Amino acid sequence: MHWLFLLSPDWLFLLVSEWLILPGSNNDTQNRWRGYSMKPISLSEQMMFSTIRLESPDGSTGTGFFNHFVYGDTIVPVIITNKHVVNGNPNAIMRFNLHLCEDKNGEVALDESFAVSFCTNWVFHSSQDLCFTFVNPLFEEVHRRTGKYVFYRALDDSLIYEQEKLEELSALEQVVMVGYPNGLWDQIHNYPLFRRGYTASHPAFDFNRKSIGVVDMACFPGSSGSPILILDEMGYLDKKSKNINMQTRAIFLGVLFEGPQMLDVGEIVNVDVKMQQKTVSIGKTMINLGYYIKSAELLEFKNYIANAIS
């Protein structure tokens, strides 16, 4: 396979970055926090290198992930997230960190990361809260500056199930979400956080709106843009045969974009001891459900790129 370098006339590329070596090497205090090289093997370890923590200039955070659109022998790498993560701005500047490796097709991530402020053209989905941008120019620039390559693991078309295959799933499937809830992440190693839950609606059926599904999982701001997958590393139950299939399984269900909230309304009460009257307080509480946009909607981006290639 070969990589396709896409750079359209209206595509703005700006990189303001520095090479970061994770703490360690000079003194004992730092050595305790030293990052380590890692060779991801399992599905979940691969997912540790599939996402990036996106931070906008105003300090708000979200999640982006790498995806490969495949056209025969050609691979087009992109970053995908929600429109609202880039604040609805197609030219938004986003900051994030990239893992590095020594070789172009390296299997080991170094204990180094590269900090990037990336101004680019985000291509918006016609109807869903999704957008993407090309990243091959960014990879080339990182290599030019550091002599190293970006280490990442991407999702791709093969993980997107067609409707017929979705219908083979059960209504209740265990799922995994990878991202940065409330902006939290492993700052030493530049790793995301994993959340585990269940499908709350059948993956084969839309929930009230076109191409929307629901998961039973704690979802917080910062998780927007997180990929949600069925990730079975130790086998799974086949609903038709009732047998355990010991093969691993990865199914890309969709991208988190919002979650229902419940209003908390306080009461005005008299406190016995101080006889102090409390004021009304109104807040919002997440109810541990998340709405995701089904991964099939990403195929609109694949068609967009195919037209750009042709």
Q: How many CB atoms lie within 10 A of CB 272?
A: 7
221 falls in which pLDDT band (50, 70, 90)? confident
**pLDDT mean across residues, the chain:** 84
241 falls in which pLDDT band (50, 70, 90)? confident
pLDDT of 240 reads 85
DSSP letter at 22? P
Question: Is the pLDDT score of 77 beyond 80?
Answer: yes
Q: Is it true that 2-157+296-309 and 159-295 share their CATH fold?
A: yes
The fold adopted by the segment(s) 2-157+296-309 is Thrombin, subunit H (2.40.10)
Find the length of the chain.
310
Cα gap 219→221, rounded to integer Å: 7
pLDDT of 18 reads 40
pLDDT of 259 reads 84
pLDDT of 101 reads 94
If one compares 270 and 226, the residue with the highest pLDDT of the two is: 226
Q: How many CB atoms lie within 10 A of CB 233?
A: 13
Cα gap 49→35, rounded to integer Å: 15
Amino acid (one-letter) located at 12: L
If one compares 95 and 112, the residue with the highest pLDDT of the two is: 95
**Stretch among 56-65, 192-201, 233-242 having the lowest mean pLDDT:** 233-242
Cα gap 87→290, rounded to integer Å: 20
pLDDT of 207 reads 97
Cα gap 293→64, rounded to integer Å: 14
Q: For 98, phi and psi rounded to 5 degrees?
A: -115, 140
263 falls in which pLDDT band (50, 70, 90)? low
Tokens 């109104």 found at: 282
> Facing residues of 64 across strands?
52
Of 100, 115, 124, 165, the residue nearest 15 (C-alpha)? 115
Q: Show me where the domains of the chain are located.
A: 2-157+296-309, 159-295
Cα gap 167→187, rounded to integer Å: 40
Q: pLDDT, tens digit, for every residue of 115-155?
A: 999 989 999 999 999 999 999 999 999 999 999 999 999 99
**Does CATH place domain 159-295 in 3.10.20.90?**
no
Mean of pLDDT values over 236-250: 89
